[in-house]
Structures are given as structure tokens and as C-alpha cells.
């Protein structure tokens, strides 16, 4: 491994899975860390290839220079102007009429 180790990853597995992985690594002449890293790189490469293929089919870009706002927000609702004020005026006129009756 020629690259400098920048980070570590810990994952959970059963003792049986660990023993199998150690046996595979020993047969291939690698450390357990090298075997897992190699498997991860194969998986990452496959995912990148799949994403690039989908991006080319859908004319997508992976550029995130100026990302748009991806926050979840409620759908825009058109404002109904004037109806609330009219309802309040109706309520006030009802109150005024009932006060005159008393």
C-alpha cells in the first residue's frame, strides 16, 4: 500500500466472518486490512461506473461547484388575498349589530 493511511474504519462482523476473512487474506498473502480495503475499492469503482453510466444516460452532472438548495420545504401555496380581511369585517359587523341590540 503506497498511499498514506488517512483514516480508519471499524465495522462489526461475527467471529466466524472474521475468521473466514483472515483465512482468505492469509491465502492471498495480504493482511486483513489490505483485503478489506481492496474489496472496498472494487465496490467503490463499480458504484462510480454505475453512476457515471446513469449520469450519461440522463444528462446529469456531478459538479457541485454551486449546489442548489436541496432542503425539504412544503409546496408553495398561492396566497388568497383579501378573504381574511373580508371575514374579519363580517365578524366585526356581527359584533357591532349584537352590541346595538343589547
The whole model's pTM is what? 0.48
Longest dimension (CA), the chain: 100
Phi, psi of 4 (to 5 degrees): -80, 135
CB 35 within 8 A of CB 24: yes
Give 10-residue mean pLDDT values along the chain (102 residues): 71 92 94 92 93 76 60 69 67 60 55
d(CA 69, CA 64): 11
C-alpha pair distances (Å), 42 with each of 20, 37, 38, 60: 19, 9, 6, 24
Amino acid at each position: 500500500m503506497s498511499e498514506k493511511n488517512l483514516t480508519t474504519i471499524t465495522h462489526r462482523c461475527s467471529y466466524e466472518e472474521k475468521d473466514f476473512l483472515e483465512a482468505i487474506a492469509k491465502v492471498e498473502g495480504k493482511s486483513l486490512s489490505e483485503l478489506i480495503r481492496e474489496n472496498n475499492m472494487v465496490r467503490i469503482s463499480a458504484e462510480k461506473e454505475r453512476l457515471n453510466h446513469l449520469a450519461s444516460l440522463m444528462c446529469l452532472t456531478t459538479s457541485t461547484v454551486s449546489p442548489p438548495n436541496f432542503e425539504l420545504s412544503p409546496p408553495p401555496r398561492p396566497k388568497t388575498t383579501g378573504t381574511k380581511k373580508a371575514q374579519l369585517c363580517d365578524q366585526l359587523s356581527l359584533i357591532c349589530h349584537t352590541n346595538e341590540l343589547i
